[in-house]
Structure 1
Amino acid sequence: MEMENETKEERVSEWSELTRECLINILSRLTLEDRWRGTILVCKSWFNAFKEPSLHSLFNLDPHFDSPPESTHWWTPEFDAKIDSMLRSVVQWANTSLTEIRIRHCSDRSLALVSQRCPNLEVLSIRSCPRVTDDSISKIALSCPKLRELDISYCYEITHESLLLIGRNCPNLKVLKRNLMNWLDPSQHKGIVPDEYLNGCPQDGDSEAAAIANSMPHLEWLEIRFSKLSVRGLNSICQGCPNLEILDLSGCANLTSRDIVNATSSLAHVKDIIKPNFYIPRSVFHTERYGHWNLYDERFQTDVFRI
């Protein structure tokens, strides 16, 4: 028994006495989950190595949200606080080397620190963040001029004013994803996303389109799924963003096939236009609120309501 204990102690000693360079090399080969759930708990020297700035230039939690079913727990302030805590730690450890952030359900509290400490940020993806507002995004716009990709999908407290600031202050922006939830058939989100949030879907599609058109001339990839923009808004985007290659208009219910063809005919570099392609629930079709669907014979030209 005594010899067995000595062997264990020797093994612990050997691992803890690895040089910092060796530890950093080991940690760099591990997944993000393995680092956070295992290595930082080994001993003090491992934790110190874990805080090496080069290990935190990228912070991507998206895979951990994509695999399990969406949870009501994700939409609570308590969950936001946990994500905020992780992001604040990464920002501090990265020491200005952080260039890519892909997370969800953070809040203004952590993004305020990002705007202060991440001048080299190039990618910011913060989908499904009900407590991110114009306040933090405006600070990001003013402090992160190297931004080239922004995903603010399902962030309903962010308005066209932030889009305008981002466009004017981030000249390298090439990718913008501003997708909304399926307001035509919200059943896929029902019981998970709070009702008051689902009902708060932004109405100002043309205001957002104008902000994009007037400030993002170098945009190449634009996703605005389920936006409520009209043909006027689409025309302004196509005129103001002549370099568009990818344009995703899935679920944009106010656009006809003819509208899209006419508006996008001026895009010389376009490679893929994803048109509205959805089934209209009978409950939506018969409600007075969506009476414009009576024009379906013009908008939907195949037997399964496709454009």
Structure 2
Amino acid sequence: MEGDGREWSGLAREMMVNILSRLTLEERWKGPMFVCKSWLLASRDPFLFSVFDLEPFFGSHSSSSSRFWSPDFERRIDSMIRSVVDWSNGRLAEIRLRHCTDASISYVADRCPDLQILATRSCPNITDASMSKISFRCTKLKELDISYCHEISHHTLVVIGTNCPNLTILKRNLMSLSETGSAPAEYLGTCPQDGDVEAEAIGEHMPNLHHLEIESSRLTLRGLTAICEGCRKLENVDLSGCVHLSSRDIESAASILKNLREMKKPDVYIPRQGIVAAAQTERYGHWRLYDERFDVQSLRF
């Protein structure tokens, strides 16, 4: 066994990096880094950090997801991001994670000009401030996922669309009434209401989109029309949970999308008439509003 240990530690750096590249991020993080100094250095090789994807981790730890919403967990994710950015020497091209903050996303913007994919789902402390930095400094962006990020507004959609002309995939999903998961109740109450405003920003500033997901958005026919008129290259659109759109609305607006391959439609239609006045008085709180006025489950078919 001792001979095997000496043999492994004496491997050429290129060979060690090649071996480590076959491990998952979590496997590299928990194992090789703690073996010896040569393994630690190999584990931090920039070649291994063009992609930083924590989605497999979050998917496999859903049973403990309530702890993900704590400030302490956010600090740990932020620390991981900063380390990976440093080890990548600015070569990061893809980032997929959750529960980080403005601090780490600003760090990415300052040091990763070649970033092409950014997915920051379920991040209550990411705002327009850090996303604005991304738009100005990561102009090669092709895919953006800001689903369940309630502090991000239509301003982010405007600056990203204006400064990142290569963007072809946008995911701006919101939590449905039946799929709130482990998110804190106070966070659910801050879900954005300005669906049409966001839709108009998408339509005006993101003409090259091919794939769009806006599940459970509060947009109406006005917003969908703006998207379809401005994003003529759309091929895949997900409108699941967009309860203020009828089948007739969708067919009418989407008739001009000549490249459309798939359109996922909502299961329920709830006319916006009667709740507009309440929605205008507050941007947030639609969960409470719907609970009081509708039994959504009874409307499903």
* 1:109 match: 103
CA distance in 2, matches of 1:163, 1:54: 32
Kindly report which structure 2 residues correspond to 1:236-275, keeping only aligned pairs within 5 A, or say none: 236-275=226-265
SS of 1:40 mapped into structure 2:
helix
Deviation at 1:18, TM superposition (A): 1.7
Aligned to 1:40: 33
- TM score, norm. by length of structure 2: 0.89
CA drift at 1:220:
0.6
Tell me the equivalent position of 1:296.
Answer: none
Residue 4 of structure 1 aligns with which residue?
none
Match of 1:128 among 118, 122, 125: 122
* C-alpha distance in structure 2 between counterparts of 1:122 and 1:72, whole Å: 30
Distance 1:285 1:149 in 2: 33
Quick check: 1:149–1:175 contact (8 Å CA) kept in 2?
Answer: yes
Q: Structure 1 287/57 Cα, relative in aligned 2: closer, same or farther at 3 Å?
A: closer
Distance in 2 of aligned mates of 1:74 and 1:175:
26
For residue 152 of structure 1, what is the amino acid of its counterpart?
Answer: I
Partner of 1:58: 51
SS in 2 for 1:176: strand
Q: Is the 8 A contact 1:279 1:305 kept in 2?
A: no
The structure 2 residue matched to 1:85, chosen from 75, 79, 87, is 79
Deviation sequence 1:267-302 (CA, Å, 0-9, x none)? 00000000002599xx999965459x8xxxxxxxxx
**C-alpha distance 171-60 of structure 1, shift in aligned 2 (>3 A):** same
Q: 1:54 to 1:194 in 2, by over 3 A?
A: same
Count the aligned residue pairs.
Answer: 283
| Distance (Å, rounded) in 1 between the aligned partners of 2:13 and 2:290 | 67
Question: Deviation per CA, 1:180-200, whole angstroms, max 9, x where unpaired?
Answer: 001x34xx426x211111011
The change in CA–CA distance for 1:270 and 1:46 in structure 2 (over 3 A counts) is same
> Structure 1 residue 38: deviation in Å?
0.3
2:283 corresponds in structure 1 to none
Which residue of 49, 72, 89 corresponds with 2:66?
72
Identical columns (%):
53
Match of 1:298? none
Partner of 1:297: none
Q: Which residue of the partner structure matches residue 206 of structure 1?
A: 196
Match of 2:20? 27
Unaligned runs of 5+ in 2: 271-286
Q: Deviation digits for residues 109-150 of structure 1, max 9, x if unmatched?
A: 111110011100000011101111111100001100110000
**TM-score normalized by structure 1?**
0.87
Q: CA offset at residue 97 of structure 1? A: 1.2
- Displacement, 1:251? 0.5
- For residues 134 and 206 of structure 2, what CA distance do their matches in structure 1 show? 16
Are residues 304 and 62 of structure 1, via their aligned partners in 2, closer, same or farther at CA, if it must alter by over 3 Å? same
Q: How does 1:174-213 map to 2 (within 5 A)?
A: 174-182=168-176, 184-185=177-178, 188-189=179-180, 192-213=182-203
Higher mean C-alpha deviation, range 82-91 or range 60-69: 60-69
